[in-house]
Amino acid sequence: MSQPAASPRASLEVADIVRAHGQEFLARYRVPTDRRRVLADVASCRTATLGGHVERCDSCPHEKVAYNSCRNRHCPKCQGSVAARWMQDRSEELLDVPYFHVVFTLPDEIAAIALQNPRVVYGILFQAVGQTLQEVAATPKHLGAKIGFLAVLHTWGQNPHHHPHLHCVVPAGGLSACGTKWVHTKKQDFFLPVRVLSRVFRGKFIALLQRAYDLGKLEFHGQLSGLAQPGAWQHRLNVAVRNEWVVYSKAPFGGPEVVLKYLARYTHRVAISNRRLLRLENGQVTFRVKDYAAGGRQTTYTLTAVEFLRRFLQHVLPRGFMRIRHFGFMANRFRREQLEHARQLLGMAPRTTATEPETPPVQASDPNSDGTLDSDDVCPVCRRGRLLITRLIREDRPHSQPIPKPHINVVLTSTTVRDTS
């Protein structure tokens, strides 16, 4: 009996590059266990390695294989369902006001330190941005209100080099100091002065970073090892302080629906999506990029496969690190009550509470009387029947081989890679 066809896949995926050149990459670099785990998960995602199930239509002969996902948050194929659930929750929290998009970027002198100390420095980035926006907004000269916002950490640029920055989505206004009215921004197209934000942000970040250094929370390796000496450290900070730090405030979004579309694009992104990949030939990866120096024009960029994987893994966050955080009246502890209060002040209808279903939903692991399992998919062939899970495929993850071998026809580079560890 022939096997049913697996679900369609992109013509080129990050997983293909990992399978073809992952071992070459591991031979060249010392790779921590958590990043090896990312490589293994990405390579195994939605393949027989992780198991899966066979679905069959109950109205026609159509069958398909659906393999399990790795659920790693750095995997390009595993963000869709997570993002959809997160977006549903956020859609119920949006206020009927314009929203501003404010971006805080770390300068190169600090970004290099963040690469070796991601948990500490990215944590300081969130803390400094949170303090900056709330304190400047609370000043009567600028807004005089308690604001709330969410911040999303991105660590990549287009190519995808290390470029840590924080995207903040902020309602245009906030709660008055006494909490009895909503304070609107003084101008519809202007939130807070970016020069003030830049300088306050720089001061707060440098102070927090210096404290981390004094407490011995920072580590330095390789080219940065000299920063362990106080003189070299102070020189690095002096260079960073002399420069203006980039803070960018975009024009307000058109409304809650536009905000949702933006959040869908930004909140659960990974360093590079599969749809941007074009070719893997002779050990070279070519992918699409936006050239912002040319007004966002689409162009292409090529890296060796090993360099591509090195850059991809630069954006693996520490285990348990939260890259989406809420501040002010949207902070997790108070969000539901404070948002409901803001809705009342804005004259919005109270948020409806979803009722529980009378009967619990059928789980995919609960068999029907005929031994089949339920699936929510409508048959793509006949459009009448429902796809039922008829057979489970057991996981076949090897213990001795962290990265599965290539299963597509790719050309490996012939260059011998020396062990530089």
* pLDDT tens-digit readout, 26-45: 999 999 999 999 999 999 99
Q: Can you give the pLDDT at residue 358?
A: 39
Q: Can you give the pLDDT at residue 310?
A: 95
Q: Can you give the pLDDT at residue 397?
A: 66
CA nearest to 45, candidates 69, 80, 9 = 69
Q: Hey, what amino acid is at 13?
A: E
Each domain of the chain, given as residue ranges in start order, spans 80-269
Q: Can you give the pLDDT at residue 420?
A: 32
Q: Can you give the pLDDT at residue 403?
A: 56
Strand partners, 289: 299
Q: Can you give the pLDDT at residue 131?
A: 98
DSSP 348: P
CA nearest to 311, candidates 274, 271, 278, 273 = 271
What gap in Å lies between CA 215 and CA 38, rounded to an integer? 31
SS3 47: coil
Q: Can you give the pLDDT at residue 10?
A: 57
- Give yes or no for a contact between 16 and 280, defined as CB atoms under 8 angstroms apart: yes
Give residues with Cβ within 8 angstroms of 118, minimum separation 6: 317, 318, 321
- Give yes or no for a contact between 69 and 77, defined as CB atoms under 8 angstroms apart: yes
Q: Extract the residue ranges of the chain whose pLDDT is less than 70.
A: 1-10, 351-376, 397-421
- Give yes or no for a contact between 326 and 335, defined as CB atoms under 8 angstroms apart: yes
- CA 316, chain centre distance (Å): 10
Cα–Cα distances in angstroms (integers) from residue 388 to residues 3, 63, 114, in the given order: 16, 9, 48
Cα–Cα distances in angstroms (integers) from residue 351 to residues 89, 170, 182, 265, 393, in the given order: 12, 20, 18, 25, 43
Q: What is the pLDDT of residues 383-419, one digit of tens each?
A: 889 999 999 988 776 654 455 544 433 332 222 222 3
